[in-house]
A and B are shown apart, each in its own frame.
Chain A
């Protein structure tokens, strides 16, 4: 199959931000995740947990609360005191509105979805009406003494519970007055702490209020009488988050020790109607604080400082025990953060607020054996001596905008192969083409969005000859434009699952599309139809192990000399598909880590199949071909990320 010199890069110093909030939308089965840097990501749980949308954050915007309202509308609020609504089609911020209550700590949408409640630093709870275009301030509730850290609506929408410091208040929504104030014990295992912070509250339809606090307690209150019903001491540290299932038969809490506890409403005895909340399952998938939890009908979702998003399916709720029932841990974004200049051997790293440019080093291949036409510097697994180390060239932080006003924001940009053109996907669904001149640029053309859609294009691919441009949004199909004639050439039929990577092959102009369900299609642009190979593999189906991978393919590239090869990778493997070889079926071994022993050529040829996989580099963030025999692989070992996180809460290991 071939040998490669691989530049193994581990100096991409990327640390994902900690997760601050998650919000689950039952209607669309989507999960919104906000991180401490203000980034908001949307995951489509139906599409193999693909991160399909992404809103970059800003230093001034620290989100503290995130919620869905009115079905598909997403709001966030943060310490800058603003409520933000996101435009999920255009992928930008629709508007932001100051709540005038100081930093906002909590937010909750009413059960009907028509009202929004925020809890502010000054102790006020503010009610907003959600109108079709904007939100409108309605009124304040009785002001409390200290900041409102958590809010929850009663499912009927008549009352709310608000967690503050040392107390929980129950408000009547109609009058806006506090009808009960429940004081929480500051005592923690006999020691009086200074304050007891109510990190989370949940209001159940039977009037029970569940609170979680900084003393490690999960408490049940009767909101009608304002009395404490039951206390569970679950942690030695803060319990920071709570989420209740829609049926109100189970809920989940997350603690600062990284533990997630599942509570379920179970019958006291068999056949009795009397039910009791029981702590059933502890999960330890996190090393750091679990800042937020969510409860989907089938899974517990948690996230926190250790940057992992963990989706833990509840086995009793999963009907088919297939691969979907497995635990998911999502750490890296499902998009490419690295681009590479092949000729100059440069790597550009994208961070949330800056860019880094590096030049790769080189090696002098000394000695070695000759194999075929090429001089191979060593054998598989060897590390070659470096003649020149990699250099850090630039650190770009400031943005100087010389762009026209309509181009102030872009979702995706792409240069043509010969660096004469720049393609920009703007957030209104349109595509702009610029001609790049020495020190300036000229706007050539704009492809307007298809009538009726404002969906932004998130993925772009241009053919090496510069004639074709492919663009894909999150739901509609892939559009192919003719750059010469400046018109839409064709649209690849829409598929159920979002596109994760796109590329156009040189010479043949075949468009290769990877989807989040791990399917790969090859579409001939000139012929406007799927290629024969694509039809064959669809007919035969992919190997089951291929379909069970849980990270999406984020990059596709081609071999300049071998038109039958497609190179692609996800976070845990790198694969070359050789279209000339037979396809593997479920009985064949998909991945063979060991080099073939001295088998005869016949056997080798018989067992060989189209998918050549290497799992040597992981987690793999980027892999591309520099030239015919050289690859570049960018890895980001998890240990390096953990080393940069704050230390977790120390737990005694020996003795109790």
Chain B
């Protein structure tokens, strides 16, 4: 999960920020050190982890820095350009920028670009590019003009492509954008036109780019608030043909910020981008991290004092001006793993039931994902291709289209047909897609709820929560407790929040009322084992002599609710994630659940094996864990309720007696050991004997 950590500011030296913010933030050859150039006369070297400046250099009054200072990673020198044409080189030891090496160039510099592992490049405003060494050897050399009149460089970036440096810069002319890619092993410049598509009027506000195999993935943030992606080939198809090539922009994320403000964009990694800008026209500016693969907002941070609309990203730090202060926000994106998310595994398994695949085969799903489960943009693009080629439609596709329009009854029949077909390796993902299809229709048509079909699919034993998120939510909405119970039994990866929501519903009155109405329905839908289990409990109880303690004589909940609660007890969870949700359950319900757990505990302790009768009963450990969890979460509430008093007292008595037993056992442990020793000595024959041995 992507996460933004606590921000901190870099202060110490006041920054002379102009209306356009800073000139630049650049990496240094030492990790954790950054060169910050303000729009006036000053360059400051910061050590970010210490939040303090290591050095500061200014040009003379009257001179203006026109290009952010960079570090030459090969020599460790710093380079800056002032007054567009004057190049300065200095090191950490130098104090005064006036006295350091100076070279006056013959053309105006747009930017100096430097990345580790190669020599810095100088990009001139006319589009020509020179290596720094070559330029310093002959500063007054003639600089050719590459771009046309009125074309202005908007943005540039420098990459290493398979150990060869490559430069991209974007120019604008009358609302048209052009991309130039220059590679330095072949020194060929390729020019591309960015086609804007329908959004003719929009202005591109920010660019960012990353390498993506053989392409430069150029992302741009337009004034309509959308992020577009263009793929520019690094190796042009035919370098000889130097004609203008066109690059299409495709929509990557829709309306992430409101336009008409100064927004900025920076790509963080393969799947994440950072966007700076107000999410709504009226709102304050925000820094948001978006996942482009799943098109989800990962995290967002409000920046109430406004920004300059500039954003830099290096290593793990995002830099921006917040108000007048340079702010650093550490960013981290940890790969999330399924195993980490699972928490406690489900306890045991019925020998009878088919084993569930706890781990989804992602390899298989990837192949399929390209067809139908990828984010919307790709679907749209692929669909068009498919429409033209159209291979034979797989059965699952047919079923999906059936789901879109046909009646519940018809879907059920089609589904049965589909399930009868032989299973393919990607069976579970197909089932997941079908469920998602059904749920999608549920959402659009409130009256549509294909309960039987869903039940049937869940009982295929191949689904998991992550394959069909939303199923349990819909079931919760419809108070379909049977469905929930089935899901609790089948899914290995239910989030704690959902488990808790189920628990809440099971404890609420909804269950009580339904009981009368749906008695017959219950028996059809896989309730039987749990039901039997509790019937057994009751039967056993009735056979018991009357002198047992009062609490044990009756189960505090009806068998149906007991069965539902047992399903919750069996589900997997992590304590840390469950506890906060347990706090939301009303106090009476907590008491009821505690009573039921206590009842189960007493039943457990009655048998010598400390287990409950029935086919798939909750274990003693599960019961104890839940009692502890409930008390941990709600103790202050429970202790205030008069009805819970007797329950708490009996729990207290029970704990006390357990402590007593343990301490007594510890006391007599020594005696036990002595007995054991005696026993051993008896077995141990004397030190010397004469015996008869026969070998066979």
A residues touching B (Cβ–Cβ < 8 Å)?
1-11, 268-272, 361-363, 376-384, 386, 389-390, 576, 592, 594-596, 612-614, 616, 631, 637, 639, 652-655
How far does the Cβ of B672 sit from chain A's closest Cβ, in whole Å? 9
Q: Flag B516-554 by CB within 8 Å of A: 1 or 0 each.
A: 000000000000000000000000000000000000000
Instruction: List chain A residues, Cβ under 8 A from B693.
Output: 3-6, 380, 614, 616, 631
Judging by beta carbons under 8 Å apart, are B691 and A612 in contact? no
**Cα–Cα, bound, A594→B696 (Å):** 8
Say if the beta carbon of B282 comes within 8 Å of chain A: no
**Cα–Cα, bound, A331→B695 (Å):** 27
Main secondary structure of the interface of A (DSSP, over half): loop
How far does the Cβ of B315 sit from chain A's closest Cβ, in whole Å? 15
How far does the Cβ of A628 sit from chain B's closest Cβ, in whole Å? 14
Instruction: List chain B residues, Cβ under 8 A from A10.
Output: 685-688
Most buried by B among A362, A594, A612, A655: A655
Judging by beta carbons under 8 Å apart, are A654 and B696 in contact? no
**Cα–Cα, bound, A652→B667 (Å):** 10
Say if the beta carbon of B198 comes within 8 Å of chain A: no
Looking across the interface, which residue of chain A has its beta carbon closest to that of B338?
A270
Interface segment out of the listed B230-238, B597-605, B657-665: B657-665
- Name the contact of B690 in the complex, choosing from A384, A594, A616, A655 (C-beta under 8 A): A384
Chain B residues 671-696 with CB under 8 Å of chain A are 680, 684-696
With an 8 Å Cβ cutoff, the count of chain B residues facing the other chain is 28
Given A8-B688, A639-B684, decide whether A612 and B695 contact each other with a Cβ distance below 8 A. Answer: yes
Please name 15 pairs of A and B residues whose Cβ atoms are closer than 8 Å in the assembled complex, sorted by A: A4-B694, A4-B695, A5-B690, A6-B691, A7-B690, A8-B688, A8-B690, A10-B686, A270-B335, A270-B339, A386-B690, A594-B696, A612-B696, A655-B662, A655-B663
Looking across the interface, which residue of chain B has its beta carbon closest to that of A656?
B662
Looking across the interface, which residue of chain B has its beta carbon closest to that of A13?
B687
Say if the beta carbon of B337 comes within 8 Å of chain A: yes
Looking across the interface, which residue of chain A has its beta carbon closest to that of B681?
A639
Judging by beta carbons under 8 Å apart, are A576 and B691 in contact? no
Judging by beta carbons under 8 Å apart, are A269 and B692 in contact? no
Judging by beta carbons under 8 Å apart, are B692 and A4 in contact? yes
Say if the beta carbon of B366 comes within 8 Å of chain A: no
Most buried by A among B340, B690, B693: B690
**Cα–Cα, bound, A251→B401 (Å):** 57
Most buried by A among B334, B680, B686, B695: B695
- Name the contact of B666 in the complex, choosing from A1, A376, A594, A653 (C-beta under 8 A): A653
Instruction: List chain B residues, Cβ under 8 A from A361.
Output: 688, 690
Say if the beta carbon of B336 comes within 8 Å of chain A: yes
Chain B residues 182-226 with CB under 8 Å of chain A are none
Most buried by A among B661, B663, B680, B687: B687
Judging by beta carbons under 8 Å apart, are B669 and A653 in contact? yes
How far does the Cβ of A12 sit from chain B's closest Cβ, in whole Å? 9
Instruction: List chain B residues, Cβ under 8 A from A362.
Output: 690
Looking across the interface, which residue of chain B has its beta carbon closest to that of A617?
B693
Q: Flag B331-371 by CB within 8 Å of A: 1 or 0 each.
A: 00011110110000000000000000000000000000000
Given contacts A269-B337, A380-B692, 12 further A-B contacts (CB under 8 A): A5-B691, A10-B688, A269-B334, A270-B335, A271-B335, A272-B335, A383-B691, A595-B696, A614-B695, A654-B661, A655-B659, A655-B665
**Cα–Cα, bound, A6→B695 (Å):** 12
Instruction: List chain A residues, Cβ under 8 A from B691.
Output: 5-6, 8, 381-384
**Cα–Cα, bound, A652→B659 (Å):** 13
- Name the contact of B692 in the complex, choosing from A381, A595, A653, A654 (C-beta under 8 A): A381
Most buried by A among B658, B680, B691: B691
**Cα–Cα, bound, A11→B684 (Å):** 12
Judging by beta carbons under 8 Å apart, are A11 and B695 in contact? no
How far does the Cβ of A559 sit from chain B's closest Cβ, in whole Å? 12
Judging by beta carbons under 8 Å apart, are B695 and A270 in contact? no
How far does the Cβ of A592 sit from chain B's closest Cβ, in whole Å? 6
Instruction: List chain A residues, Cβ under 8 A from B334.
Output: 268-269, 272
How far does the Cβ of A222 sit from chain B's closest Cβ, in whole Å? 14
Instruction: List chain B residues, Cβ under 8 A from A380.
Output: 692-694
**Cα–Cα, bound, A615→B163 (Å):** 71
- Name the contact of B695 in the complex, choosing from A8, A379, A576 (C-beta under 8 A): A576
How far does the Cβ of A589 sit from chain B's closest Cβ, in whole Å? 11
Given A7-B690, A11-B688, A383-B691, decide whether A652 and B666 contact each other with a Cβ distance below 8 A. Answer: yes
How far does the Cβ of B210 sit from chain A's closest Cβ, in whole Å? 19
- Name the contact of A377 in the complex, choosing from B662, B680, B692 (C-beta under 8 A): B692
How far does the Cβ of B152 sit from chain A's closest Cβ, in whole Å? 42
Looking across the interface, which residue of chain B has its beta carbon closest to that of A379?
B692
Looking across the interface, which residue of chain B has its beta carbon closest to that of A382?
B692
Judging by beta carbons under 8 Å apart, are B695 and A386 in contact? no
- Name the contact of A2 in the complex, choosing from B340, B687, B695 (C-beta under 8 A): B695
Judging by beta carbons under 8 Å apart, are B696 and A378 in contact? no
Judging by beta carbons under 8 Å apart, are A378 and B692 in contact? yes
Given A386-B689, A652-B666, A654-B665, decide whether A269 and B336 contact each other with a Cβ distance below 8 A. Answer: yes
Instruction: List chain B residues, Cβ under 8 A from A1.
Output: 694-696
How far does the Cβ of B189 sit from chain A's closest Cβ, in whole Å? 37
**Which 9 residue pairs spanning A and B have beta carbons closest together?**
A655-B662, A654-B665, A269-B337, A380-B694, A612-B695, A11-B687, A1-B695, A269-B335, A3-B694
**Cα–Cα, bound, A10→B696 (Å):** 25
Judging by beta carbons under 8 Å apart, are B688 and A595 in contact? no
**Cα–Cα, bound, A653→B684 (Å):** 26
**Cα–Cα, bound, A612→B694 (Å):** 10
- Name the contact of B696 in the complex, choosing from A5, A381, A596, A653 (C-beta under 8 A): A596
Chain B residues 319-340 with CB under 8 Å of chain A are 334-337, 339-340
- Name the contact of B694 in the complex, choosing from A2, A11, A613 (C-beta under 8 A): A2
**Cα–Cα, bound, A613→B337 (Å):** 56
Instruction: List chain B residues, Cβ under 8 A from A11.
Output: 687-688
**Cα–Cα, bound, A272→B688 (Å):** 65
**Cα–Cα, bound, A616→B663 (Å):** 42
Looking across the interface, which residue of chain B has its beta carbon closest to that of A631?
B693
Instruction: List chain A residues, Cβ under 8 A from B686.
Output: 10
Instruction: List chain B residues, Cβ under 8 A from A6.
Output: 690-693
**Cα–Cα, bound, A594→B340 (Å):** 54
Instruction: List chain A residues, Cβ under 8 A from B336.
Output: 269
Judging by beta carbons under 8 Å apart, are B666 and A655 in contact? yes
Judging by beta carbons under 8 Å apart, are B688 and A384 in contact? no
Instruction: List chain A residues, Cβ under 8 A from B669.
Output: 653-654
Looking across the interface, which residue of chain B has its beta carbon closest to that of A630?
B690
Looking across the interface, which residue of chain A has its beta carbon closest to that of B659?
A655
Instruction: List chain A residues, Cβ under 8 A from B662.
Output: 654-655
How far does the Cβ of A278 sit from chain B's closest Cβ, in whole Å? 13
Instruction: List chain B residues, Cβ under 8 A from A386.
Output: 688-690
**Cα–Cα, bound, A542→B188 (Å):** 76
Instruction: List chain B residues, Cβ under 8 A from A654.
Output: 661-662, 665-666, 669
How far does the Cβ of A264 sit from chain B's closest Cβ, in whole Å? 16
How far does the Cβ of A173 sit from chain B's closest Cβ, in whole Å? 27
**Cα–Cα, bound, A1→B661 (Å):** 58
Looking across the interface, which residue of chain B has its beta carbon closest to that of A639?
B680
**Cα–Cα, bound, A576→B696 (Å):** 10
Instruction: List chain A residues, Cβ under 8 A from B337.
Output: 269-270
**Cα–Cα, bound, A585→B513 (Å):** 74
**Cα–Cα, bound, A270→B340 (Å):** 10
Looking across the interface, which residue of chain A has its beta carbon closest to that of B337?
A269
Instruction: List chain A residues, Cβ under 8 A from B658.
Output: 655
**Cα–Cα, bound, A384→B686 (Å):** 13
Looking across the interface, which residue of chain B has its beta carbon closest to that of A650?
B669
Instruction: List chain B residues, Cβ under 8 A from A377.
Output: 692
Looking across the interface, which residue of chain A has its beta carbon closest to that of B666?
A654
Instruction: List chain A residues, Cβ under 8 A from B694.
Output: 1-4, 379-380, 595
Instruction: List chain A residues, Cβ under 8 A from B340.
Output: 269
**Cα–Cα, bound, A162→B673 (Å):** 42
How far does the Cβ of A578 sit from chain B's closest Cβ, in whole Å? 10
**Cα–Cα, bound, A384→B669 (Å):** 38
**Cα–Cα, bound, A7→B684 (Å):** 16
How far does the Cβ of B365 sit from chain A's closest Cβ, in whole Å? 16
Judging by beta carbons under 8 Å apart, are A383 and B688 in contact? no
